Amino acid sequence: MTHRPINSFKAYDVRGKLGPDINEDVAYRIGRGMVEFLSAKTIAVGGDVRLSTPELKTALMRGICDAGADAYDIGLAGTEQVYFAVNHLNCDGGVEVTASHNPIDYNGFKLVKHHARPISSDTGLFDIKAIAEAGTFKDSANKGAVHSIDIFDAYIDKLMSFVGAFSGTKPLKLVINSGNGAAGPVVNALEDRLIQANSPLQLIKLYNDPDGAFPNGVPNPMLEENREDSSEAILKHKADMGIAFDGDFDRCFFFDEKGRYVDGCYVVSLLARHFLEQQPDSHIVYDPRVIWNTLYEIDRLGGQAVISKSGHSFMKDVMREVDAIYGGELSAHHYFRDFYYCDSGMIPWLIVCQILMTSDKKMSEVADSYYEAFPCSGEINLTVDDSSTVLKQLEKHYARDAVTVDHTDGLSMSFQQWRFNIRQSNTEPLIRLNIESKGDKKLLQIKINELQTLILNDI
């Protein structure tokens, strides 16, 4: 077999445009390469709802079987269901066929090893790439087989274990926008469990049917224009809160009862508070982009704060190192020790619902109290020619007044009443800027304008 370059391997996963970057041959080679790299006997495989996923998944499993391993096909699934399957079935690895929130003509693969530990560029992803590209696969004495495995009910049991009986003192109406992605069946199953538990929770389901044609647009609530339908449905139905997912529902996005998007950093604070109220001395892992509100809650409740570079591979490694009970990112990724240190898009909304049902506060009151104490800018993306030079010049510009300077992830600089974090994009000529202040919205706006002016005018 001849060497064939594969250009779709990234830092954390494999993704790209259908045809030149992602096709059945690439899928087959990844299947073979993964089994060889892991010396695997069993690989769990799931796939999202994209129209291209079934053929890619079939080719991937053919490669797995030709390499001598068994493929455990769990069917239509979000990424977290593969995480669960790898642990529940004690597999040597797992693959989710997904392009998550990418355009409709994209697809890809998320790979994990035993215990759902991520396979990234630092932990073997490029070794798999080399094997797949070379195509000189080892002969296997015996081929593996594909087994259709139903782990769905066990997975739902695992999700429900985070909220116990799910009882509350007040009813709650919730809008859930699945975006026609893979989340719909899980939402339906959780709704059934909640009804069985006599929970006073009513779900208004939006775009709940999986449809790989994405008739309502590719689900990506990170984009402001994709939040309108959720906000309108919340106001129309007079709901208490809204939730939206991306295509493989590994991220969970929140809205208050006024239809306003709740910034991810405040959700991290709320979940950190929840876990620390149960186990006060626990470790909480957070990323460096917006931190002051989360640090306030951790300190107030006696927790142990641990910073990590953003990105699921880094977050999971740090969580395992310190045995953190919870970790959260601004980007709406939430990680749980009791979910194998993995991220889940389903566990967060279940917990937040239970918090609100046992509280006298509305979601807007929770979010507003956080925003008033530590207002933030939201992530600002700016196009620049040389992002590394911009970071160096900003550090020099603000060095004299900075209280702390940190390079955990990009550049973070803290001052008496405000701070910022600025990071380079891994895939685009962009820098991502986040600014926060200590209760001073006027100062926040001044610094937003100031930093944008400096950056766009080459400092």
Q: Is residue 6 part of a domain?
A: no
Residues 275 and 204 placed together within one structural domain of the fold: yes
Please determine, for residue 74, whether its predicted confidence score (pLDDT) is greater than 80: yes
Of 150, 178, 206, the one marking the end of a domain is 150
Q: Of the residues 150, 184, 199, which one is the last residue of a structural domain?
A: 150
CB contact at 8 A, 340 and 349: no
| E strand residue ranges, 237-343 | 241-245, 252-255, 261-262, 283-286, 304-307, 326-328, 334-336, 342-343
Q: How confident is the model at residue 3 (pLDDT cuts 50, 70, 90)?
A: low
Q: Does residue 2 lie in a domain region?
A: no
Same domain for 322 and 175: yes
**Alpha-carbon span 289 to 171, nearest angstrom:** 35
Can you tell me the mean pLDDT for 219-227? 93
Same domain, yes or no: 199 and 330: yes
Same-domain check for residues 73 and 216: no
pLDDT digits (tens, 9 = 90+) for 295-328: 999 999 999 999 999 999 999 999 999 999 999 9
Q: Is the pLDDT of residue 404 over 70?
A: yes
Number of alpha carbons in the 13 Å side-chain half-sphere of residue 90: 0
* 3-class secondary-structure state, position 319: helix
Residue 58 confidence (pLDDT): 98
Indicate whether 354 and 388 sit together in one domain: no
What is the number of structural domains in the chain?
A: 3
Same domain, 230 and 210: yes
CB atoms within 10 A of CB 121: 15
pLDDT-based confidence at residue 427 (cuts at 50, 70, 90): low
The active-site residue, picked from 8, 39, 52, 100, is 100
| Domain that residue 242 falls in | 155-373
Does 3 map to a domain? no
pTM of the full predicted structure? 0.97
Q: Is residue 70 part of a domain?
A: yes
- The percentage of residues in the chain with a pLDDT greater than 90, rounded to a whole number, is 93
Per-residue pLDDT averaged across 163-172, rounded?
Answer: 80
Residue-wise pLDDT for 34-53, tens only, equals 999 999 999 999 999 999 99
Q: How would residue 428 be classed by pLDDT, with cut points 50, 70 and 90? A: confident
Residue 454 in this model has a pLDDT that exceeds 80: yes
- Do 66 and 215 reside in the same domain of the chain? no
Same domain flag for 356 and 410 = no
pLDDT at 169: 74
Which residues 6+ apart lie within 8 Å of 423 measured at CB?
Answer: 289, 310, 409, 410, 411, 431, 432
pLDDT at 257 over 70: yes
Average pLDDT over the chain reads 96
Q: Please indicate, yes or no, if residue 7 is contained in any of the structural domains.
A: no
Catalytic residue at 414?
Answer: no
Q: Could you tell me if 166 and 143 lie in one domain?
A: no
Do 108 and 203 belong to one domain? no
Task: Taking residues 106-110, report their average pLDDT.
Answer: 98
**Per-residue pLDDT at 141:** 87
State residue 354's pLDDT score.
94
Looking at 325, 344, 373, which one is the last position of a domain? Answer: 373
CA–CA separation, 201 vs 185, rounded Å? 18
Are 409 and 288 part of one and the same domain? no
- What is the CATH classification number for the domain harbouring 391? 3.30.310.50
* 162/276 same-domain check: yes
pLDDT digits (tens, 9 = 90+) for 168-209: 678 999 999 999 999 999 999 999 999 998 899 999 999 999
Mean pLDDT of 71-82: 98
The CATH code of the domain that includes 347 is: 3.40.120.10
